[in-house]
Amino acid sequence: MAFAVVLQACGDDAAPRGPEPKVRLQVTVPQDGATVRAETVAVEGTVAPAGARVQVLGKDVGVESGRWHAEVPLEPGANLVDVAASADGRRTAFASLRIVLEVRVTVPDVGRVSERSKRLRPVAAVRPGPGTAGRGCRTAEAAREHNCRRAW
């Protein structure tokens, strides 16, 4: 005689789902690695689903019809701007931008030398070379005599 054994799962556990879909985040302006001269930069992009939440540098920004925009202040030199987008039932998406704030520096015209500065003697800063410790290489003449090197 054959017996059939039927096993039934207990509870209402649903079958395991696959991973949640990811929010689609795209930064359209500026390009990664951009160099700018303004102290602020407009960061813009798109997100799907259209109702997703977008944060730029940790601050919420408005999303309209899947488009978002933020004005970001920059420090001189290299800046890193982080963008995150999230939505219910979806995995968060991240993007990072490197933006360089280039600062122009006015170099003084050294061609114009005052009468007073013509009378001043430049002093060479030197440091002792090998085997010259304690010889007092404080002038260019002593540096040449004791084989001292210039300090940079």
User: Mind listing the pLDDT tens digit for each residue in 83-120?
Assistant: 999 999 999 999 999 999 998 888 777 666 666 666 66
Domain with residue 94: its CATH number is: 2.60.40.10
Residue 128 domain boundaries: 122-150
Give yes or no: residues 85 and 53 share one domain.
yes
CB 36 within 8 A of CB 107: no
Percentage above 90 pLDDT, the chain: 52
Instruction: Give the residue with greater pLDDT, 108 vs 151.
Output: 108
Distance between CA atoms of 56 and 96, rounded to whole angstroms?
Answer: 10
Distance between CA atoms of 51 and 77, rounded to whole angstroms?
Answer: 34
Query: pTM for the full model?
Result: 0.58
